[in-house]
Chain A
Amino acid sequence: MREEKLTALILTVLLSIAAALYLFPVYWMVSTATKTRLDALSIPPKWIYKPTLEHFKAIFSRGSGSSFAHQLLNSFIVSFASTGLVTIFGSLAGYAFSRFPLKAKDDLLFFILSTRMLPPIVVIIPLAVMYRSLGLFDTRLGLIIAYTVFNLSFAVWMMKSFVDEIPKEYEEAAMVDGYSRLRAFLKFVLPEMRTGMVATAIFSLITSWNEFTFALLLTADKARTAPPSIAQSMGVSGTNWGYIAAGSLLLVIPVAAFTFILRKHLLRGFTFGAIKG
C-alpha cells in the first residue's frame, strides 16, 4: 500500500514537472500579450504586473494593409474549406483504396505519398508562376487548392488505414441484405468512419492553420493568412513582442478550441487500431 502511494507521488511530481515545462511557453505568450511593452522587456522579468489589452487593440486597428482580423478571417476560411475538401476526398479515396482491387494499388499509394516528400519551398516557385498566370495568386481559392493538395496525400493514407480497420463484412452483409453498395456505405460504413474522419480533419486543420510557406509566397495582401502576417510584424524598428504574442494567442485559440471540442474522437482516432485489436 505504502509502495503504491509512493509510486503515485513520484508520478505526480514527474508529471507536474513535465506539465510545467510544456505550459511555460504558453504562460509566457499569455503574459507577454497582456504586458505593456516596457514590462515585457524588463529584466528580471516581472511576475506581477498590471495587465493591458493595448496589443489586442493595436491588432484590430492596424493602419496600413489589411487588418489582422481580416487575415484571421482568411485563415479561417482557407483552413476550414481545405479541411472539408481534404476530409471528403480523403475518405472516399481511402475507402476505394481499402476496398477495391485497383490496378497498381501499391504504386498509386506510393505516388500519393511521394507528393509529400518534397518540402513546400521546393515546389513554391513553379507553383507561384502557375498561380500568377491562372489568376490564383493572392486568392483564397488558390490557397485552398494548395492546402487541399498538400494535405490530401496524408489524409488518403490515414483514411485508408481507418477503413482497413472496419470489417468489410459490414457492407457485405448490408449488400446481401438488399442494399446497394452506395447505401451500404452511407448507412453502415460511414458512421464507423466518423472517428477517423474527425482525426483526419483535426490534423488537416492544424496543418493548414499553421501553414507558413505557401501563405507567405502565394499571397500578397488580400488573401494573406495570419501566420506570415505575425512574422512580418517583426519590423526594422525593433520587435514588438507584446503585439506578436497577442497575435499568436489569437492564432492558437480557434484551433485549440476545435481540438478540445473533438478531443474524444481524436484520442479514439489515434488509438483506433489498439482498441480494436
Chain B
Amino acid sequence: MAEVRLEGVSKRFGRIQAIWRLTFEVEDGQFAVILGPTGAGKTTTLRCVAGLERPDEGHIYFDGRCVDGLSPAERDVAFVFQSFALYPRLTVYENIASPLKARGMGRDEIERRVRWAAEVLRISHLLDRMPDQLSGGEMQRVALGRAIVREPNVFLLDEPLSNLDAKLREGMRTELKKLQTDLGATFLYATPDHAEALSMGDKIIVINEGRIHQIGTPQEIYDRPADTFVAYFVGSPGMNLLPCRIISEGDRLFADIGPGAFRVELPPEVKEGLEDATTLGIRAEEVEVSLREERGWLRGRISLVETLGGYNIVEVDLGGIAVKARTDFSFSPPPGAEVWVRFRRDKIRLFDREGRAIPSPAACKAPSNA
C-alpha cells in the first residue's frame, strides 16, 4: 500500500475546467473520501490518479515517487467504476482473475487468490455466473473482488454504492469500511453522499466545481465548515445559513438576522474579523424548539414538519426568516403553532461576504488551491 499525494493537479476538458490545482495527500492505509456534488470533479480526480487521464498541470506521487509518466497498468492501482464495468463475456471467476492473468500469474496462485477474494466478499457461490445474471449488489461485490484480488498501491472507488438501493447501500457502507480496515489498504473514495463520507472517511476532501473547499476529519468538516458551501452541502438538512449584520452593545455582541428580523447573541470569545460577517450558520440539531414560552428565547411559528422516522425536522418562521430545527419524533406541532426557539451559542458559525468561515477553522488545513 502506498501514500498518495497530488500537487497542483489541474485538468480541463475543452472549455470546462474539471479540476483546478488540487493538492492533498492520502496517507498509507487511510480511507480518504472526495466529497462533492455531481460535476465537482471527483471522477476526474480519481481518473488522474489512475492514469486514465493526463493532468494538464501538477504532479502525482505514490510513496514520494512521481508517477506522471506511468500507464494505468504501471501505476498498479485498483479502480472500482460507478458502473462496475464487469467484462460481459467473462464469468465472475474470470472477471476477478483478470488482473492476475494480465500480470502473468500462475494458474494455481490465481485460483487461490480468486477463491480468497470470493470468500471475503461472500460471492463464492457466484463464481460460475455471467455478469448479466447478477443483481446490483452482487455486481458491486464482483467489482470489489477484482480490486482486492491483488495488492495494488491504492484503491480508487468511484461512487461504487450509487447504483445500489438505499438499504443495501447502508449495509455495504459498513462492509467497505471493515474491508478497508482489515486489508489495511489506502482508499480514495469519491461520493456525492455526505452520509457515506462522514460514516466511512478518515479524511474528507470536499470539492466543488473542481476546487477544494476543505480537507479535514468528518468531525471537523461537520462542526467547523470552512465555508458556506461545505456548511450547506454536508449534513441533512444542510446548515441553516441566515443573512446577518454584527452589532455591539457594550461588551455584548449580537448578530442582527435579516437584518431586522431578530437578534442572536454571540459567544464572547468570538472577536476577530467579526465586522466582515454577513452570514450566520447553525445546524438544525443546535436549534432548540419549545412549545412553552421560555425567557430570552425567540418567538416563531411552525411552518412545516418533516417526519423522518427517528426524528423530525421542523421549519420555524422567525420574523420572516425560515430556520430548520431537528427535534424528537414526539415533537410534532401543527403548522402555524407558536413556538420558542434558541440557538446554542457555542455552535454558531459566522461567514464573511465570500462565504468563508470567521475565523477560518484552525483545525482544518486551508484549501491549497490559491
**A residues apposed to B, CB below 8 Å:** 167, 169-170, 172-180, 183, 188, 191-192
> Complex formed: what's the CA distance from A94 to B175 in Å?
42
> Complex formed: what's the CA distance from A172 to B81 in Å?
9
| Residues in chain A near residue B146, CB distance under 8 A | 173, 177
- Pull 16 A–B residue pairs with CB atoms less than 8 Å apart, ordered by A: A169-B81, A169-B83, A172-B81, A173-B79, A174-B87, A176-B52, A176-B72, A176-B73, A176-B77, A177-B73, A177-B146, A178-B73, A178-B102, A178-B103, A179-B102, A188-B87
| Residues in chain B near residue A175, CB distance under 8 A | 52, 71-73
Smallest CB–CB gap between A132 and chain B, Å?
A: 47
Among B78, B83, B89, the residue within 8 A (CB) of A176 is B78
> Complex formed: what's the CA distance from A191 to B87 in Å?
11
Smallest CB–CB gap between A268 and chain B, Å?
A: 14
Among B72, B88, B89, B103, the residue within 8 A (CB) of A172 is B72
* B99 CB–A CB distance under 8 Å: yes
| Residues in chain B near residue A169, CB distance under 8 A | 81, 83, 85
**B residues apposed to A, CB below 8 Å:** 50, 52, 71-73, 77-79, 81, 83, 85, 87-89, 98-99, 102-103, 146
| Residues in chain B near residue A172, CB distance under 8 A | 52, 72, 79, 81, 85
> Complex formed: what's the CA distance from A191 to B88 in Å?
10
Query: Judging by beta carbons under 8 Å apart, are A174 and B98 in contact?
Result: yes
> Complex formed: what's the CA distance from A179 to B90 in Å?
16
| Residues in chain A near residue B85, CB distance under 8 A | 167, 169-170, 172-173
Among A170, A178, A183, the residue within 8 A (CB) of B87 is A170
Smallest CB–CB gap between B12 and chain A, Å?
A: 11
Smallest CB–CB gap between A229 and chain B, Å?
A: 45
Smallest CB–CB gap between B186 and chain A, Å?
A: 15
| Residues in chain A near residue B98, CB distance under 8 A | 174, 177
Smallest CB–CB gap between A185 and chain B, Å?
A: 13
> Complex formed: what's the CA distance from A183 to B104 in Å?
13
Query: Judging by beta carbons under 8 Å apart, are B88 and A179 in contact?
Result: no
Smallest CB–CB gap between A96 and chain B, Å?
A: 17
| Residues in chain B near residue A191, CB distance under 8 A | 89
Among B71, B87, B89, B103, the residue within 8 A (CB) of A173 is B87
Smallest CB–CB gap between A271 and chain B, Å?
A: 17
> Complex formed: what's the CA distance from A173 to B52 in Å?
10
> Complex formed: what's the CA distance from A183 to B52 in Å?
16
| Residues in chain A near residue B89, CB distance under 8 A | 191-192
Query: Judging by beta carbons under 8 Å apart, are B79 and A179 in contact?
Result: no
Of all chain A residues, the one with the shortest Cβ separation from B158 is A169
| Residues in chain A near residue B73, CB distance under 8 A | 175-180
| Residues in chain B near residue A176, CB distance under 8 A | 50, 52, 72-73, 77-79, 99
Beyond known contacts A167-B85, A177-B99: 10 more, CB 8 A cutoff? A167-B83, A169-B81, A174-B87, A175-B72, A175-B73, A176-B72, A179-B73, A180-B71, A192-B88, A192-B89
Smallest CB–CB gap between A213 and chain B, Å?
A: 42
> Complex formed: what's the CA distance from A174 to B98 in Å?
8
Query: Judging by beta carbons under 8 Å apart, are B102 and A173 in contact?
Result: no
> Complex formed: what's the CA distance from A183 to B101 in Å?
12
| Residues in chain A near residue B81, CB distance under 8 A | 169, 172-173
| Residues in chain B near residue A167, CB distance under 8 A | 83, 85
Smallest CB–CB gap between B156 and chain A, Å?
A: 8
Of all chain A residues, the one with the shortest Cβ separation from B73 is A178
| Residues in chain B near residue A177, CB distance under 8 A | 73, 98-99, 102, 146
Query: Judging by beta carbons under 8 Å apart, are A174 and B83 in contact?
Result: no
Smallest CB–CB gap between A196 and chain B, Å?
A: 15
> Complex formed: what's the CA distance from A167 to B143 in Å?
15
| Residues in chain B near residue A174, CB distance under 8 A | 87, 98, 102
Smallest CB–CB gap between B256 and chain A, Å?
A: 53
Smallest CB–CB gap between B26 and chain A, Å?
A: 18
> Complex formed: what's the CA distance from A67 to B23 in Å?
76
> Complex formed: what's the CA distance from A100 to B71 in Å?
16
> Complex formed: what's the CA distance from A174 to B52 in Å?
11
> Complex formed: what's the CA distance from A179 to B73 in Å?
7
| Residues in chain A near residue B102, CB distance under 8 A | 174, 177-179, 183
Q: Which of B71, B79, B102, B146 has the most CB of A within 10 A?
A: B102
> Complex formed: what's the CA distance from A184 to B345 in Å?
59
| Residues in chain B near residue A188, CB distance under 8 A | 87
| Residues in chain B near residue A183, CB distance under 8 A | 102
> Complex formed: what's the CA distance from A136 to B77 in Å?
54
Smallest CB–CB gap between A100 and chain B, Å?
A: 12
> Complex formed: what's the CA distance from A175 to B89 in Å?
17
Of all chain B residues, the one with the shortest Cβ separation from A181 is B71
> Complex formed: what's the CA distance from A188 to B98 in Å?
11
> Complex formed: what's the CA distance from A170 to B89 in Å?
11
> Complex formed: what's the CA distance from A167 to B102 in Å?
20
- Nearest 9 pairs between A and B by C-beta? A178-B102, A169-B85, A177-B99, A173-B85, A178-B73, A175-B72, A176-B79, A169-B81, A176-B72
> Complex formed: what's the CA distance from A32 to B157 in Å?
68
Smallest CB–CB gap between A259 and chain B, Å?
A: 25
> Complex formed: what's the CA distance from A180 to B70 in Å?
12
Smallest CB–CB gap between A187 and chain B, Å?
A: 9
Smallest CB–CB gap between A260 and chain B, Å?
A: 26
> Complex formed: what's the CA distance from A188 to B94 in Å?
12
> Complex formed: what's the CA distance from A192 to B98 in Å?
17
Q: Which of B52, B72, B79, B103 has the most CB of A within 10 A?
A: B72
Smallest CB–CB gap between B73 and chain A, Å?
A: 4
Of all chain A residues, the one with the shortest Cβ separation from B78 is A176
Of all chain B residues, the one with the shortest Cβ separation from A191 is B89
| Residues in chain B near residue A180, CB distance under 8 A | 71, 73
Of all chain B residues, the one with the shortest Cβ separation from A170 is B85
Smallest CB–CB gap between B102 and chain A, Å?
A: 3
> Complex formed: what's the CA distance from A191 to B252 in Å?
74
Q: Which of A170, A176, A179 has the most CB of B within 10 A?
A: A176
> Complex formed: what's the CA distance from A170 to B81 in Å?
10
